[in-house]
Amino acid sequence: DAGVTQSPTHLIKTRGQQVTLRCSPKSGHDTVSWYQQALGQGPQFIFQYYEEEERQRGNFPDRFSGHQFPNYSSELNVNALLLGDSALYLCASSSYRVNEQFFGPGTRLTVL
Amino acid sequence: RKEVEQDPGPFNVPEGATVAFNCTYSNSASQSFFWYRQDCRKEPKLLMSVYSSGNEDGRFTAQLNRASQYISLLIRDSKLSDSATYLCAVTFFGNEKLTFGTGTRLTIIP
Protein backbone atom coordinates (compact mmCIF):
# COMPACT_ATOMS: atom_id res chain seq x y z
CA ASP A 1 0.00 0.00 0.00
CA ALA A 2 1.74 3.15 -1.22
CA GLY A 3 1.89 6.02 1.20
CA VAL A 4 1.77 9.69 0.30
CA THR A 5 4.18 10.58 -2.48
CA GLN A 6 5.52 13.98 -3.47
CA SER A 7 7.65 15.27 -6.31
CA PRO A 8 10.16 16.64 -6.78
CA THR A 9 12.27 15.94 -3.70
CA HIS A 10 14.35 19.08 -4.03
CA LEU A 11 14.02 22.21 -6.11
CA ILE A 12 16.12 25.31 -6.56
CA LYS A 13 14.54 28.42 -8.05
CA THR A 14 15.37 32.10 -8.29
CA ARG A 15 13.31 35.02 -7.06
CA GLY A 16 10.35 35.84 -9.28
CA GLN A 17 10.07 32.37 -10.77
CA GLN A 18 7.10 30.07 -10.46
CA VAL A 19 7.05 26.52 -9.09
CA THR A 20 4.66 23.57 -9.15
CA LEU A 21 4.82 20.81 -6.54
CA ARG A 22 2.91 17.56 -6.82
CA CYS A 23 1.33 15.14 -4.36
CA SER A 24 -0.42 11.78 -4.59
CA PRO A 25 -2.42 10.82 -1.52
CA LYS A 26 -2.40 7.51 0.28
CA SER A 27 -4.65 4.88 -1.26
CA GLY A 28 -8.22 5.31 -0.01
CA HIS A 29 -7.77 8.96 0.96
CA ASP A 30 -9.67 11.74 -0.79
CA THR A 31 -8.43 14.89 0.96
CA VAL A 32 -5.11 16.65 0.49
CA SER A 33 -3.70 19.39 2.71
CA TRP A 34 -0.56 21.40 2.04
CA TYR A 35 1.77 22.77 4.70
CA GLN A 36 4.89 24.92 4.68
CA GLN A 37 7.58 24.20 7.24
CA ALA A 38 10.37 26.71 7.78
CA LEU A 39 13.53 25.65 9.59
CA GLY A 40 12.95 25.27 13.33
CA GLN A 41 9.20 25.78 13.06
CA GLY A 42 6.15 23.56 13.00
CA PRO A 43 4.31 23.07 9.71
CA GLN A 44 1.99 25.94 8.76
CA PHE A 45 -1.30 25.15 6.98
CA ILE A 46 -1.59 26.53 3.44
CA PHE A 47 -4.85 25.01 2.17
CA GLN A 48 -6.91 21.85 1.90
CA TYR A 49 -8.57 20.26 -1.13
CA TYR A 50 -11.52 17.92 -1.22
CA GLU A 51 -13.71 17.05 -4.23
CA GLU A 52 -11.45 19.19 -6.39
CA GLU A 53 -12.29 22.32 -4.41
CA GLU A 54 -10.31 24.39 -1.93
CA ARG A 55 -12.14 23.82 1.35
CA GLN A 56 -10.00 25.80 3.77
CA ARG A 57 -7.14 28.24 3.47
CA GLY A 58 -4.50 29.43 5.90
CA ASN A 59 -2.84 32.85 6.05
CA PHE A 60 -0.96 32.64 2.78
CA PRO A 61 -1.08 35.17 -0.06
CA ASP A 62 -2.78 34.54 -3.39
CA ARG A 63 0.61 33.71 -4.88
CA PHE A 64 -0.05 30.27 -3.41
CA SER A 65 -2.64 28.35 -5.36
CA GLY A 66 -3.56 24.75 -5.81
CA HIS A 67 -5.55 22.20 -7.63
CA GLN A 68 -6.94 18.75 -7.01
CA PHE A 69 -7.53 16.27 -9.80
CA PRO A 70 -10.29 13.65 -10.13
CA ASN A 71 -7.84 10.96 -8.97
CA TYR A 72 -7.35 12.98 -5.73
CA SER A 73 -3.78 13.97 -6.53
CA SER A 74 -2.95 17.61 -6.02
CA GLU A 75 -0.61 20.39 -7.10
CA LEU A 76 0.66 23.40 -5.21
CA ASN A 77 1.69 26.39 -7.31
CA VAL A 78 3.67 29.34 -6.03
CA ASN A 79 4.12 32.40 -8.24
CA ALA A 80 6.59 35.28 -7.97
CA LEU A 81 8.84 33.39 -5.59
CA LEU A 82 10.41 35.26 -2.69
CA LEU A 83 13.47 34.33 -0.67
CA GLY A 84 11.13 33.72 2.27
CA ASP A 85 9.35 30.96 0.37
CA SER A 86 12.35 28.71 0.94
CA ALA A 87 11.02 25.88 3.09
CA LEU A 88 9.95 22.25 3.21
CA TYR A 89 6.55 21.86 1.56
CA LEU A 90 4.56 18.98 2.96
CA CYS A 91 1.49 17.31 1.58
CA ALA A 92 -0.79 15.42 3.95
CA SER A 93 -3.58 13.08 2.97
CA SER A 94 -6.65 12.02 4.92
CA SER A 95 -10.22 10.89 4.52
CA TYR A 96 -12.62 13.82 4.63
CA ARG A 97 -13.82 14.62 8.17
CA VAL A 98 -11.31 12.18 9.66
CA ASN A 99 -8.65 14.31 11.25
CA GLU A 100 -5.72 11.90 11.12
CA GLN A 101 -3.43 13.24 8.44
CA PHE A 102 -0.44 11.39 7.00
CA PHE A 103 2.44 13.29 5.49
CA GLY A 104 4.49 12.72 2.39
CA PRO A 105 8.28 13.10 2.37
CA GLY A 106 8.06 16.74 1.34
CA THR A 107 9.64 18.93 -1.30
CA ARG A 108 12.52 21.08 -0.15
CA LEU A 109 12.36 24.39 -2.05
CA THR A 110 15.29 26.77 -2.07
CA VAL A 111 14.81 30.24 -3.55
CA LEU A 112 18.00 32.10 -4.44
CA ARG B 1 -0.37 34.22 22.43
CA LYS B 2 0.35 31.34 20.08
CA GLU B 3 -2.48 28.89 19.45
CA VAL B 4 -0.30 25.89 20.29
CA GLU B 5 2.83 26.16 22.43
CA GLN B 6 5.59 23.70 23.21
CA ASP B 7 8.86 23.95 25.10
CA PRO B 8 11.42 23.79 22.26
CA GLY B 9 14.00 22.05 24.46
CA PRO B 10 16.40 20.54 23.74
CA PHE B 11 15.76 17.75 26.20
CA ASN B 12 18.88 15.61 26.68
CA VAL B 13 17.88 12.44 28.47
CA PRO B 14 19.89 9.31 29.35
CA GLU B 15 18.87 6.06 27.74
CA GLY B 16 16.32 4.18 29.83
CA ALA B 17 14.94 7.28 31.50
CA THR B 18 11.36 8.53 31.40
CA VAL B 19 10.67 11.85 29.73
CA ALA B 20 7.49 13.89 29.47
CA PHE B 21 6.49 16.78 27.22
CA ASN B 22 3.57 19.13 27.53
CA CYS B 23 1.81 21.11 24.86
CA THR B 24 -0.67 23.87 25.66
CA TYR B 25 -3.41 25.16 23.39
CA SER B 26 -5.30 28.42 23.65
CA ASN B 27 -8.60 27.66 21.94
CA SER B 28 -11.07 25.91 24.22
CA ALA B 29 -13.00 24.76 21.13
CA SER B 30 -10.12 22.49 20.22
CA GLN B 31 -11.45 19.16 19.06
CA SER B 32 -8.73 16.68 18.15
CA PHE B 33 -5.18 16.31 19.35
CA PHE B 34 -2.15 14.54 17.96
CA TRP B 35 1.51 13.85 18.60
CA TYR B 36 3.82 13.61 15.59
CA ARG B 37 7.46 12.58 15.52
CA GLN B 38 9.80 14.26 13.05
CA ASP B 39 13.33 13.10 12.34
CA CYS B 40 15.87 15.55 10.98
CA ARG B 41 14.98 16.65 7.43
CA LYS B 42 12.13 14.13 7.23
CA GLU B 43 8.37 14.41 7.27
CA PRO B 44 6.30 14.33 10.47
CA LYS B 45 5.02 10.86 11.24
CA LEU B 46 1.83 10.38 13.25
CA LEU B 47 2.80 8.92 16.61
CA MET B 48 -0.51 9.00 18.45
CA SER B 49 -3.94 10.52 18.41
CA VAL B 50 -4.87 11.76 21.89
CA TYR B 51 -8.25 10.77 23.27
CA SER B 52 -10.13 12.23 26.21
CA SER B 53 -9.55 9.10 28.25
CA GLY B 54 -5.85 9.07 27.49
CA ASN B 55 -4.20 6.35 25.49
CA GLU B 56 -1.13 4.19 25.58
CA ASP B 57 0.91 2.53 22.86
CA GLY B 58 3.78 0.50 24.21
CA ARG B 59 6.23 2.85 25.89
CA PHE B 60 4.25 5.92 24.90
CA THR B 61 1.34 7.42 26.85
CA ALA B 62 -0.66 10.46 25.79
CA GLN B 63 -3.00 12.41 28.06
CA LEU B 64 -5.47 15.23 27.47
CA ASN B 65 -6.38 17.78 30.15
CA ARG B 66 -9.22 19.90 28.79
CA ALA B 67 -9.63 21.93 31.99
CA SER B 68 -6.05 23.19 31.83
CA GLN B 69 -5.90 23.01 28.03
CA TYR B 70 -2.84 20.89 27.55
CA ILE B 71 -1.83 17.52 26.18
CA SER B 72 1.13 15.49 27.33
CA LEU B 73 3.34 12.75 25.97
CA LEU B 74 5.22 10.38 28.25
CA ILE B 75 7.99 8.15 26.95
CA ARG B 76 9.14 5.36 29.26
CA ASP B 77 12.38 3.38 29.02
CA SER B 78 13.67 5.75 26.34
CA LYS B 79 15.73 4.34 23.48
CA LEU B 80 18.39 5.97 21.34
CA SER B 81 15.95 5.68 18.43
CA ASP B 82 13.51 7.98 20.25
CA SER B 83 15.79 10.94 19.47
CA ALA B 84 13.69 13.23 17.28
CA THR B 85 11.55 16.36 17.37
CA TYR B 86 8.08 15.80 18.81
CA LEU B 87 5.33 18.01 17.42
CA CYS B 88 1.90 18.41 18.91
CA ALA B 89 -1.00 19.33 16.65
CA VAL B 90 -4.56 20.44 17.30
CA THR B 91 -7.68 20.86 15.22
CA PHE B 92 -10.47 23.20 16.21
CA PHE B 93 -14.17 22.48 15.99
CA GLY B 94 -15.44 22.69 12.41
CA ASN B 95 -11.96 23.14 11.00
CA GLU B 96 -9.86 20.22 9.87
CA LYS B 97 -6.54 22.02 9.49
CA LEU B 98 -3.79 20.94 11.85
CA THR B 99 -2.26 23.71 13.94
CA PHE B 100 1.19 22.70 15.13
CA GLY B 101 3.46 23.74 17.92
CA THR B 102 7.08 24.49 17.12
CA GLY B 103 8.17 21.06 18.35
CA THR B 104 10.28 19.77 21.23
CA ARG B 105 13.68 18.37 20.39
CA LEU B 106 14.63 15.22 22.29
CA THR B 107 18.08 13.64 22.33
CA ILE B 108 18.60 10.32 24.09
CA ILE B 109 22.15 10.00 25.40
CA PRO B 110 23.83 6.55 25.60
How many angstroms from the chain centroid is the CA of residue A54? Answer: 12
Q: What is the mean pLDDT of chain B?
A: 93
**A81: closest CA of chain B, how far (Å):** 22
pLDDT at res. B2: 85
Q: How confident is the model at residue A97 (pLDDT cuts 50, 70, 90)?
A: confident
**B92-104: average pLDDT:** 86
pLDDT at res. B95: 67
pLDDT at res. B30: 80
Compute how many other C-beta atoms are within 10 angstroms of the C-beta atom of residue A42: 23
**B23-51: average pLDDT:** 92
Choose among A99, A103, A106: nearest Cβ to B32: A99
Choose among A41, A45, A88: nearest Cβ to B98: A45
Contacts of B1 (CB under 8 A, 6+ apart): B26
Q: How confident is the model at residue B1 (pLDDT cuts 50, 70, 90)?
A: confident
